[in-house]
Chains A and B, each alone.
Chain A
Amino acid sequence: EAQVTQNPRYLITVTGKKLTVTCSQNMNHEYMSWYRQDPGLGLRQIYYSMNVEVTDKGDVPEGYKVSRKEKRNFPLILESPSPNQTSLYFCASSYNTGVHETQYFGPGTRLLVL
């Protein structure tokens, strides 16, 4: 089944404790992206990747890191999480960002930083 998977789905952590949220897709997609969703603010793009070893900042990259060492995986790293990073995070992928492509979203990761 074609899908985007994220782990963990739920996470409670404390300020400053490094964490990684994994994202994996099995569709051989070139493009992958991370978003956060907050009430009243909608989805905001954190980072995106057009292909392996190619990443770029979205609208809210501060406090996050990403890497794209292989096509299927795009982990999101919070080196020193803070309470304002409490949010619902989504990973998404598409074959590319060409005009015929649509994005497939993962189920989301709900993060609480105490």
Chain B
Amino acid sequence: KQEVTQIPAALSVPEGENLVLNCSFTDSAIYNLQWFRQDPGKGLTSLLLIQSSQREQTSGRLNASLDKSSGRSTLYIAASQPGDSATYLCAVTDSWGKFQFGAGTQVVVTP
């Protein structure tokens, strides 16, 4: 059974520092991997989607890498801002449409 782990569970950084969030999964037979952001009391917002054949995706200050063989993905957020404070979740999908989420990393960016 696929298991998705996110470490650390929580992270606090001063404004301006780069953020590095980790996601690992046990079964490399994934279809794609997505990173989401969740603000308190709100739904999830998709940040980046990486196809299983890709190594990375970029959007603005965000960059996500994927190493399928080692079962790892990393989300980098450059020059963090207080508005980046949120919980970040990764999710993997299999070819049948089944999603598996990690428990998330709660990020606080202090001014």
Most buried by A among B42, B49, B51: B49
Across the interface, B89 reaches (CB within 8 A) one of A31, A43, A108, namely A43
Tell me, yes or no, whether B98 is within 8 Å of chain A by CB. yes
Across the interface, B44 reaches (CB within 8 A) one of A59, A97, A105, namely A105
Q: How many A-B residue pairs have CB under 8 A?
A: 69
Q: How many residues of A are counted as interface, with CB atoms below 8 angstroms from the partner's CB atoms?
A: 28
B55 CB to closest chain A CB (Å) equals 14
Complex CA–CA separation, A50 to B31 (angstroms): 15
Q: How many residues of B are counted as interface, with CB atoms below 8 angstroms from the partner's CB atoms?
A: 28
Across the interface, B31 reaches (CB within 8 A) one of A31, A56, A99, namely A99
User: Which residues of B are found within 8 Å of A43, using beta-carbon distances?
Assistant: 44, 89, 91, 99, 101
User: Which residues of A are found within 8 Å of B32, using beta-carbon distances?
Assistant: 99
Across the interface, B103 reaches (CB within 8 A) one of A40, A56, A92, A105, namely A40
Residues of A that sit less than 8 Å from B by CB: 4, 31, 33, 35, 40-45, 48, 50, 56, 58-59, 90, 92, 97, 99-108
9 smallest beta-carbon distances between A and B, as pairs: A42-B103, A105-B43, A43-B101, A102-B46, A99-B51, A105-B44, A97-B97, A42-B101, A102-B49
Residues of B that sit less than 8 Å from A by CB: 4, 31-32, 34, 36, 41-46, 49, 51-53, 89, 91, 93, 95-104
